[in-house]
Amino acid sequence: MKTICSSSTRFAGQDFDLVKWRLIAGAVSACHFVLDYETDTLTFSQECLEIVALPSVEWTPVSSFSNVIFPDDLDVWLGALRRFESGQTPRLSCDFRLPAREGGYLWVRCTGEGLHLQNGKPLLLCGCVHNIAEELTAAAQGEMDNCAQSSRRPFLVDPLTGMPNRLSFYSDMKELMNQSIQSTIIIIDIKNFKNINDMYGHSLGDMMLTEFAALMRDKLPQLARLYRFGGDEFAAVWPWSRRAAVDKFAEEFLQISEQPLLVCGQRVRYFLSIGAACFPDDGRNVDELLKCADVALSKAKAKLWDGYSYFTIEDRNTYMQQLELDVLLHQSVENNFHGFQVFYQPIVGAKNRQCTGAEALLRWQTPDGIYIPPARVIPLLEKSGLISRVGLWVLETAVRQTSKWVHLNTDKTFLINVNLSAHQLLDRMLPERILTILDRFSLAPGNLSLEVTESSVINNMGEACEILQSLRNRGVRIALDDFGTGYSSLSHLQTLPIDEIKIDRSFLKGVADTGYNKSFVSTIVELAHSLQRVICAEGVEEQVQYQALRDLKVDKLQGYLFGRPTSLETFQKSFVPYYYAGNEGYVKDL
Ligand code: C2E
Ligand code: CA
Ligand code: CA
């Protein structure tokens, strides 16, 4: 790893090394980029705009660049950056898609080299951007029949299964489309693959994928071709196929998959989700068609165990609405977050019902003033990767506001809770970003609590825990949200770096009666207290629930009984009266 002791000489206000590098890069390749970790800025040379349609050449913070990357490729870019930033690799090399000038997306390869400070922190990353679309198309020619055995062009073959990969899929589909051959694409996903990996280990997981690929290849009709997209996702392209034949294949294959796979003497039980869409009916280009198959796949995934779904007209309407909302959300973000708002819901102490803090909750309205509920907005933001920027905006807005409340009051303990999404936990720079915001608005880290769900941490356990622990070391509090839903592992209460547990509102139903929910809450409270964790119950709507939870020794409560999420104005009027009436203490008796 190259290291540097301190930032080098300045030249006309700029880092001399950077200036020098730009000159060299410019001489070698017109299309280059510079990522400056000191200013958290990613800059592309103007020449890059000749190959890709970037709305800007400068991206601050660097995470904002994620929004233009083709969503499926985002992990490739973030993974490569992470490996460089952690010093795992001295160089960066990754292929992903960016918006093409003529519409759609274009494959590019980013290669670069960088510098780290002596303390291991990344300082600078500089490199080139290459258009590899032509290279890929050329490589794909002649590969159609014999891709699996090809050693000359390994980037079209998945090394684990020997199947053609996603790039190969693109080039084959384009070929079929050029020849106007009616074809179905089928996407297959192993729903419980993560559990299989966790239960049996990664090497058995890899062997299972190979066995599964062989089984699927065997059962698909001769005409169809199978590809591995990565992870546990496979796709098949079936030229000249009829809907009835595809339905029959999917149903029969789901039946076959009811039998466990025998892998290294282990009988592995797996569940499949299958989604299908058809060219030309459902889409005229590969990306459009893949999106339709993805919509069908999401529907299939929503089924309890195995599931199959074929893209329909109703799906198209839902999809078009989502696309429209997606465009509007992007516009809102680019337009300085216009249309977004932060609402605040009070959190009260269980003993005296006094407001001790609030949860910041995102709200969004379309330019026509139509309010779209968070349950629709958040998944869309997550899918497009915009959640990282919007999440930080919520945090900044809430921190700025809380700082005003805390500084105006003698009691400095007001706690603002802000939600973090799984996407944000992929960003290694997150602790620094958050601490910078706290610093900018002079709010103590102890006034901020970050809410994470078990699933968002578990999907990326090692790194997510590192990020949370480093924030916790600096005094920021961490809360485990929606506890009791999803994984709900009691061992997580002990192992995850958390200060607080928020019991999901589904457990409040009947909590006042004797029954499962009461025992569940009582057990969690006992366990949490023995581990010195604070416990908060969400969704308190009735007086009897309040009394029961207080008797069960829950520490904090949140719910409509004490206050709904409201706009800043309303929240301040009801819960921060000193904000208007002088500095007399914000506590309000409810
Ligand atoms: P959450 O984090 O579990 O937030 C609490 C949700 O419960 C809020 O829904 C709140 O309005 C609702 N709630 C609170 N008390 C009661 C009650 O007594 N009864 C009922 N029926 N509901 C109650 P909301 O505001 O619709 O948000 C839904 C979800 O959207 C949140 O669930 C959170 O997962 C997500 N979300 C909201 N804002 C953000 C954000 O800024 N970032 C991220 N990543 N997610 C957010
Ligand atoms: Ca929450
Ligand atoms: Ca919650």
Mean pLDDT of 140-153: 42
The whole-angstrom separation of Cα 334 and Cα 231 is 33
Q: Is the pLDDT of residue 260 over 70?
A: yes
Token representation of residue 288: 């459009």
Q: Is the pLDDT of residue 367 over 80?
A: yes
Secondary structure class of 307 (helix, strand, coil): strand
The whole-angstrom separation of Cα 40 and Cα 45 is 17
Q: Is the pLDDT of residue 186 over 80?
A: yes
The whole-angstrom separation of Cα 166 and Cα 234 is 9
Protein residue whose Cα sits closest to atom 4 of ligand 1: 361
Neighbour-count burial of 371, counting CB atoms closer than 10 A to its CB (0-12 exposed, 13-18 middle, 19+ buried) = exposed
Protein residue whose Cα sits closest to atom 13 of ligand 1: 539
Domain 344-579 in the same topology as domain 2-131: no
The whole-angstrom separation of Cα 234 and Cα 219 is 14
Secondary structure class of 227 (helix, strand, coil): strand
Tell me which fold the domain 2-131 belongs to: Beta-Lactamase (3.30.450)
Cβ–Cβ under 8 Å, residues 295 and 303: no
Tell me which of 378, 392, 397 to substitute to probe ligand 1's pocket, judged by most ligand atoms within 8 Å of the beta carbon: 378
Output the pLDDT for position 10. Answer: 54
Least confident of 63-72, 78-87, 121-130, 485-494: 485-494
Cβ–Cβ under 8 Å, residues 195 and 205: no
Where is mean pLDDT largest: 22-31, 146-155, 190-199, 563-572?
563-572
CATH classification for the domain delimited by 344-579, as one of 3.20.20.450, 3.30.70.20, 3.40.50.720, 3.30.930.10: 3.20.20.450
Residue 189, ligand 1, Cβ within 6 A = no
The whole-angstrom separation of Cα 588 and Cα 590 is 6
The whole-angstrom separation of Cα 295 and Cα 483 is 29
Radius of gyration of the chain (CA): 26
Residue with the two structure tokens 């909750």: 361
The residue with greater pLDDT, 378 or 112, is 378
Q: Is the pLDDT of residue 492 over 90?
A: no
CATH number of 138-311: 3.30.70.270
pLDDT digits (tens, 9 = 90+) for 280-334: 999 989 988 998 999 999 899 988 788 999 999 999 888 888 889 999 999 999 9
pLDDT grade, residue 149 (50/70/90)? very low
Cβ–Cβ under 8 Å, residues 280 and 329: no
Ligand nearest to the CA of 450: 2
Q: How many CA atoms lie within 13 A of 388 on its CB side?
A: 23
Where is mean pLDDT largest: 138-152, 444-458, 514-528, 574-588?
444-458
Residue 539, ligand 1, Cβ within 6 A = yes
pLDDT digits (tens, 9 = 90+) for 341-361: 999 999 999 999 999 999 999
Question: DSSP H helical segments within 510-553, as ranges?
Answer: 516-530, 543-551
Is it true that the peptide bond before 565 is cis, omega within 30 degrees of 0? no
Give CA separation, 542 vs 512, 547, 562, in Å.
10, 9, 10
Residue 171, ligand 1, Cβ within 6 A = no
Output the pLDDT for position 334. Answer: 93
Kindly provide the b/e burial profile for residues 529-548, where b requires at least 16 CB atoms within 10 angstroms of the residue's own CB: eeeebbbbbbbbeeeebbeb
Q: Is the pLDDT of residue 133 over 80?
A: no
Closest ligand 1 atom to the C-alpha of 482? 3
494 phi/psi in degrees, rounded to 5: -90, -40
For the chain, give every domain's residue range: 2-131, 138-311, 344-579
Secondary structure class of 176 (helix, strand, coil): helix
pLDDT digits (tens, 9 = 90+) for 285-295: 998 899 899 99
